[in-house]
Amino acid sequence: MRLPLEGYCVVDLSRTLAGPYTTMMLADMGADVIKVEEPKFGDESRRFTPPTWNGESCYFLSANRNKRGITVDLKSPEGVEIIKQLVKDADVVIENFRTGTMEKLGLGYEVLKEINPKLVFCSISGFGRTGPDKNKAGYDVLLQATGGMMSITGTEEEPAKAGMSVADLSTGTFAAFSIVSAIMGVQRNGVGQYLDVSLLDCQVALLNHMATGYMANGTYPKRLGTAHSSLVPYQAFKAKDADVVVAVANDGLWKKFCTALEWQDLTEDEQFALNYDRVQRRDELEHIIGERFSQLDSSYIIEQLESFGVPSGKIQNIEEVMTSPQVIAREMMLDIEHPSVPNLKVPAFPVKFSATPPTVRYAPPLLGEHTNEVLQGLGYTEEAIERLRSQAII
């Protein structure tokens, strides 16, 4: 069977992570993604190092598979014309320049929709294309801060950013879903539309019940480390040899938790019987559990809790995750043949499709790897391509 997005063309003018992650998801589903980079230097994430893999940026390698890569100088009239030629038959254009840049280049939505009325034009920015902060640059750590995440992540003494680029990656996921929805809209309504996707808006969406709780009563959770503002115990505790997370999400699990570890005194203690009471006595209960866990091996704790159906697990490092039998069984690492990186492995698309599973068609492209191929497809002759290259336009 054909992949779901096979036959759709995406012109990818984005760089760094949020945009490239969006287009990689579309490419995994079969879209023909043409990644446009500036000549000579390319996507800035090619220089986000270390780490590298045989000289290539792991940052770039992780977000750019299944794309054809070309180089175009968007500041030149000839470069702008190349993009307009691509847009004629494209379904999607995605960009993440600062607000107003695409318009200055002569490639704004109002211009491109005249060329292709069915075009879905997706703009990704830090703060959105409207509002008082529309001209601000946005990077992941900044949006984790201004979007509220760092106010609830870390400890009471010190805020912390998420270890992964959660603002970029969540925005890329929202953007990919929105693009596919807009494509369906084109099928039904016959016209494209403009998508204004901001890292800030996506972070606000991720605040979810915490934002609703604030609107309800003006309160919000303080930074609790690994703990949960509404559930106890729902966090990490130090065992003898490792940190163990337990997720006691209801009163039934609390009873099983105590029974599994033979803590009869806690089972019978009425002041901890209900989650509401456990939350009110958080400090006392955390201290009791912490003291007892510190005397036990993590393997014993996890084995006992799992035997009673209580969710638990050790905090694993990246190596432990990559070698986990479950992750291996789920085939979550892809092997990709790359022209300069032997044995390249990157995380796979995380959803399993029974009929149309994603496939690897292209390795993350070398800079300008498919420029000739794409321009020839637009009707450029070899002589014209060489002239553009000699002028540093491609």
Catalytic residues: 168
From residue 296, give the alpha-carbon distance in Å to each of 113, 126, 245, 293: 64, 46, 14, 5
Which residues, 6+ apart, have CB-to-CB distance to 143 below 8 Å?
126, 167, 199, 200, 203
Query: What are 56's strand-pairing partners?
Result: 53
87, 8 in Cβ contact below 8 A?
no
Return the closest-CA partner of residue 386 out of 374, 372, 373: 372
Return the closest-CA partner of residue 239 out of 259, 216, 261: 261
Query: What are 34's strand-pairing partners?
Result: 11, 68
User: How far apart (Å, rounded) are the C-alpha atoms in residues 360 and 4?
Assistant: 14
Return the closest-CA partner of residue 289 out of 265, 313, 307, 316: 265
Pair of tokens at residue 209: 């019940």
SS3 11: strand
User: How far apart (Å, rounded) are the C-alpha atoms in residues 266 and 255?
Assistant: 9
- The amino acid that residue 320 corresponds to is E
SS3 37: strand
